[in-house]
Chains A and B, each alone.
Chain A
Amino acid sequence: MTLFIHFLAAAVGTVAFALIFDVPRRFYPLCALIGGLGFFLAELLMRLGLSQTEATFLATMVVTLTSRVSAVWQKCPVTVFLISGIIPLVPGAGVYWTAYYLIMNNTAEALTRGFTAVRVAVAIVLGIVLILEIPNRVFAGRKRAK
């Protein structure tokens, strides 16, 4: 149940960012779906025992993949879906906790949180890059097959 509420919240959050990035309105539903799905997946995987880094890596791959498929389908730049879809996975909370523990003079905890945030960021980078390496014709071919 919480997972479902979080899915909805992530979808709303993604659309909010889509509006700030001035994504054309007709793409909002897909953006919401991609952003919600990514966050939902990351949370689900973490509940299944994966670390935040691993979960984020896999979720990023799914977000990038669905973004690319949607981009081919809608004939528009991937950026439209990718940028808003990645936002829920960006370690914004990690940045906050790092600052918080630094101020609280809890250096050990601050380091842990900070490194986790960096690791998550690297996981996002790797996830995006890996999927972007798939040549375009793979997606174009699937489209033609339909």
Chain B
Amino acid sequence: MDEVLETAVDAGHILLESGAEIFRVEETMRRICRYFGVDESHEEFFVLANGLFATGTTEKGHFAKVKQSRVTGARLSKVVAINQMSRQIEQGKYTLPEVKRELERIRNIPEPPKWLQILSAGLGSAAFCCMFGGGPVDCAASFLAGLILYTFVLYVSAPHMSKISGNLLGGALATVVCLLCYKVGFGRDLGHMIIGGIIPLVPGLAFTNGIRDIADGDYISGAVRLLDALLVFLCIAVGVGMVFTVYRHILGGVPL
């Protein structure tokens, strides 16, 4: 029974780290417990956005486990894989050792190669620049800004910086790149170039999941995630603003 609870905690932990909603984490853990014979009276789970608590009574005594987690980046392929596994468990397609092996495999699903992530950030920037009304050259400048920004995110800010300084500098970096492009005549519409450029920073996962958690009644986790999203938005805005201020007041005050 200890083993069942342990497995449930593992599954929940992977889900939480990969960016699943709170109710999905709890439901998956309960499903695993039910199927392998741990009923409601023998387990209790409490899941928050940044950690989970599990307790249970087993034949050997008590089981208790606390796991901290930090969402480092969305890994929806893991969420999908565990979701599928949990369905199949209910259909009786897994034994406990098989579940453990499958969890181990899911934990090690590689993320998309970094170059591909960078390239798609660039593409995303160009696409958003176009959507908000930028011309082809503006899009090309946004593409460049997106590439440089995401290289910075993957290699510098994500591993080494706090969220606040990472997003602040990220927003500033994208603005600087666009400003330079604009100055050498590569792109005419600075506003749209920058909007496209900063788009890869937008906290879509935290924002959407925060809303979902609140809709499910998980207010603490929802509030934490929405606060996270709001903070990121503010940092991006401050980053952009910093560059503009420096440009305006120190480098000559040319109106943009």
Are B124 and A97 in contact (CB-based, < 8 A)? no
Between A and B, 9 residue pairs with Cβ closer than 8 Å are A16-B121, A16-B124, A19-B116, A21-B76, A22-B76, A83-B74, A86-B207, A90-B204, A97-B191
Residue picked from A79, A92, A98, A128, most chain B C-beta under 10 Å: A79
With A79-B19, A79-B79, A92-B128 as known contacts, state yes or no: A99 contacts B117, CB within 8 Å: no
Q: Give the CA-CA distance A100 to B179 in the complex, in Å.
A: 13
* Minimum CB–CB distance for A14 against chain B, Å: 8
* Minimum CB–CB distance for B169 against chain A, Å: 15
Q: Give the CA-CA distance A19 to B245 in the complex, in Å.
A: 34
The digit string for B228-256, where 1 denotes a CB below 8 A from any CB of A, is: 00000100111011001100100000001
A87 within 8 Å of B (CB atoms): yes
Q: Give the CA-CA distance A86 to B127 in the complex, in Å.
A: 15
Contact of A10 among B87, B127, B200 (CB under 8 A): B127
Are B204 and A96 in contact (CB-based, < 8 A)? no
A-B contact count (CB 8 A): 150
Q: In the complex, what residues of B have CB within 8 A of residue A19's CB?
A: 112, 116-117, 120
Are A79 and B21 in contact (CB-based, < 8 A)? yes
Q: By DSSP majority rule, is chain B's interface helix, strand, loop, or mixed? A: helix
Contact of B208 among A9, A20, A103, A128 (CB under 8 A): A128
Q: Give the CA-CA distance A93 to B215 in the complex, in Å.
A: 26
With A20-B74, A75-B87, A76-B80 as known contacts, state yes or no: A13 contacts B124, CB within 8 Å: yes
Q: Give the CA-CA distance A100 to B117 in the complex, in Å.
A: 29
Q: In the complex, what residues of A have CB within 8 A of residue B244's CB?
A: 99-100, 103-104
Q: By DSSP majority rule, is chain A's interface helix, strand, loop, or mixed? A: helix
Residue picked from A10, A39, A87, most chain B C-beta under 10 Å: A87
B side interface size, CB within 8 A:
54
Q: In the complex, what residues of A have CB within 8 A of residue B80's CB?
A: 23-24, 76-77, 80
Q: Which of chain B's residues has its CB closest to A43's CB?
A: B131
Interface residues on A, range: 35 or more
Contact of B77 among A13, A23, A83, A125 (CB under 8 A): A23
Q: Which of chain B's residues has its CB closest to A23's CB?
A: B76
Are B74 and A128 in contact (CB-based, < 8 A)? no
Q: Give the CA-CA distance A23 to B79 in the complex, in Å.
A: 9
Q: Which of chain B's residues has its CB closest to A88's CB?
A: B131
Contact of A75 among B84, B127, B212 (CB under 8 A): B84
Q: Give the CA-CA distance A133 to B212 in the complex, in Å.
A: 10
A95 within 8 Å of B (CB atoms): yes
* Minimum CB–CB distance for A90 against chain B, Å: 6
Residue picked from A98, A99, A121, most chain B C-beta under 10 Å: A99
